Amino acid sequence: MTAPAGARPLRAVRQAEPGKRPEGRRRQWAVVWLLSPAGLVMAAFSVAPVLFLVFTSFTDYNQRTLFTGEFSMVGTKQYADMFDDPEFWKSLVRSMLFTVTMVAGSITMGVGVAQLLTRLRTAMRMTVTVVLIFAWAMPNVASSLVWKWLFQPGYGVVNWLLTQMHVFGDMTNTDWGQSASLAYLSIWSLVVWQAVPFIALTLYAALTQLPLELPEAARLDGAGEWRVWWSVTLPFLRPTLLLVTIMSVIWDFNVFNQIWLVSAGGPDNATSTLGIFAYKTAFVSFRIGQGAALSVITTAILLGITAVYIRNLLRSGEDL
């Protein structure tokens, strides 16, 4: 088969331009060079510590190791000892139940605040938005300390307000940290208060993208406001709700500062979640190897939750 008149053979074209690289390969190398600084930072501060954590979980790292550097490989002994410890299972159950209640509370209140923002006038909406941003931007260590002062017996503002309401009796000297239920309630309210701003603003941003003709058409068909929200607004918010729910699960499952600063896991380990248990194991009892094993198990649980989210995200993309 002869080439068309005036056409140059492919070999001739390649010989005529020997130094020219294909455009696709050039773009690939550009992407690699642009991402390499971020990749090096992630490898140094994320991948390497995780690998060292996994390695440590198979050793007998302890207080002696910190001074002498000596340790021995013990295989899966740390994991076996951890699974035989009843306190591990109690901490795991506490973490799961506490995470469920915190995520449910923060998502419910976040949805309510987001809906409220859609009904406020511009000036009031901007005021509420600024207040939410300030609440969200406050460091959790500072907010936890302030929260603990609010619930202090004797001079705590919350105790004073509850006493003035004359509903629960005299609560002036009530120590919230010495009661398991009150300690959980205090920590729960603190975590939810910190989580609501992000959830509310994220959902409000999604609500602003809802086409106005959809709820209007539902109202013309005779649907009430609750039916419009359930059948139109909620399906539109489902991808964003899934995102903030998974992120809330990851954040709340890892809550440490708020619990440690408010109750230190007490009373009698009643608020000791996996994070508190791992910290006490590694840095109070100096069983660093077993603390590392606890952290590996926690990371595996969170990776499983993240995998579920990614799977659902890919499925939703295939359905579009």
The model's confidence at residue 70, banded by pLDDT at 50, 70 and 90, is: confident
- How confident is the model at residue 312, as a pLDDT? 73
Report, as an integer, the average pLDDT of 125-130: 92
Tokens read off for 242: 């899934």
Q: Return the CATH fold of 77-117+191-319.
A: MetI-like fold (1.10.3720)
Q: Percent of the chain, pLDDT > 70?
A: 91
Q: Provide the residue type at 254 as one letter.
A: N
pTM listed for this prediction:
0.80
DSSP labels, 19-77: TPPPHHHHHHHHHHHHHHHHHHHHIIIIIHHHHHHHHHTTB---HHHHHH----B-TTH
CA–CA distance from 272 to each of 171, 174, 189, 254, 255 (Å)?
A: 25, 21, 17, 12, 11
| Distance of alpha carbon 287 from alpha carbon 282, whole angstroms | 5
Tokens describing residue 101: 């209640």
The pLDDT confidence band at residue 104, using thresholds 50, 70 and 90, is very high
Which residue intervals of 57-85 are DSSP H helices? Answer: 63-68, 77-83
| Tens of pLDDT, residues 184-194 | 999 999 999 99
Contact 102, 260 (CB under 8 A): no
Beta bridge partners of residue 59, listed in sequence order = 73
In which band, very low, low, confident or very high, does the pLDDT at 320 lie, cut at 50, 70 and 90? very low
